[in-house]
Chains A and B, each alone.
Chain A
Amino acid sequence: MSDYLAIDHIDQVFQRGAATSEVLRDVSLRIAKGEYISIIGHSGCGKSTLLNIVAGLLRATRGGVLLEGREVNEPGPDRAVVFQNHSLLPWLTVYDNVKLAVDKVFRATRSKSERHDWVMHNLDLVQMAHARDKRPGEISGGMKQRVGIARALAMEPKVLLLDEPFGALDALTRAHLQDSVMEIHQKLGNTVLMITHDVDEAVLLSDRIVMMTNGPAATIGEILEVPLDRPRRRLDLAADPVYIRCRSAVLEFLYARHRAPTLAA
């Protein structure tokens, strides 16, 4: 398997005054182009920390991230992030939120009308073109998350980073968006790194599921291949033996071998 994105022996230690807390220890992961990877683990184990390191928003204490063989140590549109709470700019319309990114990334390479078409194309992709003139305050949580995804896709990232993109949504909206993301991944062949809490979501969407041990000093406990054919349909999978096997493997890892450490806390 060729390494498109390589996470190489990452340690992360936070230092606050005299107190140090080791969050990640020796995390290594190789991801091929077009792969869909999920990271699953208990709350507080360091998933967001790992994603932020890949995004370049946080410098690892030791180790590094290589994208196409080149080290990345600052944020950039080649690793677009969809944040957990959408993080649209509330004073801009849906259209302008996406346009802000498009204008910045493609200012030199595309004409004004090409950029406009590209914004609309990406809004169409997430079925949000009809709300282009609305402000984030005027649309639902699921719609905001769609726009966040459109904004990230519009940067034509090499890697799409999703931090619990559907975490704050109700089950129906979540299923709907999962289908959208699956469809987009199928169509565009993006490389995706997604954090999730949801076992079904991880199995449904991923090629591989990265399961993290509990912190402090969390690391990758196990990596599970999900050998399900694509396109996947959630209704057909419910009774699929491969799906059931993967699902119970993840559940077993999370709840039998690596139970949440401080549920009392």
Chain B
Amino acid sequence: MSMPARNFETPAAPGRSATLFALPRRQPDVLRDRVKPIAVAAATRLVPPLVMLAVLIAIWQLAAGSPTSALPSPTKLVSDSWELIAHPFYDRGGLDKGLFWHIFASLQRVALGYVLAAVAGIALGVLIGQSIWAMRGLDPIFQVLRTVPPLAWLPISLAAFRDGQPSAIFVIFITAIWPIIINTAVGVRNIPEDYRNVARVVRLGGLEYFAKIMLPAAAPYIFTGLRIGIGLSWLAIVAAEMLIGGVGIGFFIWDAWNSSLISDIVVALVYVGLVGFCLDRLIALIGRFAARAA
């Protein structure tokens, strides 16, 4: 017994001292092995779009650089709208606010309409996915309604609510709800027979089945619907706000157009794009988080 033990120790000793020697040498290796790939990955992600952005701005500058150009060049834009770019948080009352407040007002409307659409859309989607009769009755109607452009709902909702605020929220609701309904229904209909059989053998009740089988099984579909829905909401809010007025990024753009502040419009568009992008990523992130936590 002692012989193999000694045999084991003898070769181990130089091995240990070798590690001691290697340690100071390995430390820069860690930097090279760990930090470098991350840096490279970040660079490959960030550098191409930044380069493309610079190229596009340069082209824009060349195209709109002449004094007679109808649209502002980037340099003119920055000098014209510097107030707006530098102070997103100012608030002088009324409609004279920084862009942050306009975006914030729009986001509030979107949030309310979208949450209502998510709740109602998932509920209706479950109904359609579960019941063959609900599907036969409702699916054709929904297929027609979902092709109605968002703004076409605005006059009707103005007539119904007699107020801009609930009308805008309703337009968001009606815009976002169709993809949520349809994707939820597809997800529920595609729950594998096996999972349903498991639930039947265990005798899960209706509510338990909904929470423990249906929602997790359909979650990827539901989140696809939610993601399409948030994109459409953000598309619709700008147009709706142009028509209803008040604080909000849509009316800000309309107001800038009426005052011929083209530079301000461009700045607002950048904000709209960035916020839309963030909303999409937010829902995608929640979806991924839910998939992991479930």
**A-to-B contact residues, CB < 8 Å:** 55-57, 74-77, 79-81, 83, 85, 87, 89, 91-92, 100-101, 104-105, 155
Q: Does B138 contact A (CB under 8 A)?
A: no
Contact across chains for A100 and B195 when beta carbons are under 8 A apart: no
* B interface residues with partner A (beta carbon < 8 Å): 192, 194-195, 197-198, 200-204, 208, 212-213, 216-217, 219, 291, 294
Do A83 and B294 touch (CB < 8 A)?
no
Min CB gap B215→A, angstroms? 10
Q: Is the interface of B mostly helix, strand, loop or mixed?
A: helix
Q: Is the CB of A89 within 8 A of B197?
A: no
In contact, B201 and A75 (Cβ under 8 angstroms): yes
**Contact of B200 with A104 in the complex, beta carbons under 8 Å:** no
Q: How many pairs of residues, A versus B, come closer than 8 Å at their CB atoms?
A: 49
Interchain CB contact under 8 A, A83 and B202: no
Query: Given the complex of chains A and B, what is the CA–CA distance between A87 and B192 in angstroms?
Result: 9
Least CB distance from A212 to B in Å reads 22
**A76 near B198 (CB under 8 angstroms)?**
no
Chain A residue nearest to B215 (CB atoms) is A91
Residues of B near A92 (CB, < 8 A) are: 216
**What separation, in Å, do the CA atoms of A104 and B216 have in the docked complex?**
18
Q: Are A89 and B203 in contact (CB under 8 A)?
A: no
Complex interface: chain B residues within 8 A of A57 (CB): 197, 200-201
Measured between beta carbons, the chain B residues less than 8 angstroms from A74 are 200
Bound complex: CA of A57 vs CA of B193, how far in Å? 11
A sample of 26 inter-chain contacts (CB < 8 A) reads A56-B200, A57-B197, A57-B200, A74-B200, A75-B201, A75-B203, A76-B201, A77-B202, A79-B201, A80-B201, A81-B201, A83-B197, A85-B194, A87-B192, A87-B197, A87-B198, A89-B195, A89-B217, A91-B216, A91-B217, A92-B216, A100-B202, A100-B212, A104-B203, A104-B204, A155-B201
Closest to B290 in A: A91
B202, A155: Cβ atoms under 8 Å?
yes
A83 neighbours in B (Cβ, 8 Å) = 194, 197-198
Q: Which 10 A-B pairs have the closest CB atoms?
A: A87-B194, A75-B200, A91-B216, A91-B294, A75-B201, A104-B202, A101-B202, A81-B201, A87-B198, A57-B197
Closest to B293 in A: A91
A134 to chain B, nearest CB (A): 14
Rounded to whole angstroms, the CA-CA distance of A83 and B199 in the bound complex is: 13
Task: Say yes or no: B203 contacts A77, CB within 8 Å.
Answer: yes
A87 touches B202 (CB 8 A): no
Bound state CA distance, A83 and B195, in angstroms?
Answer: 10
Docked CA distance A20–B194 (Å)? 25
Query: Residue of B at shortest CB range from A148?
Result: B198
Hey, which chain A residues are within 8 Å of B192, CB to CB?
87
- Smallest Cβ distance from B36 to chain A, in angstroms? 29
Q: State the CA gap A105–B291 with chains docked (Å).
A: 27
User: A77 is contacted by which of B194, B201, B208, B216 (Cβ under 8 Å)?
Assistant: B201
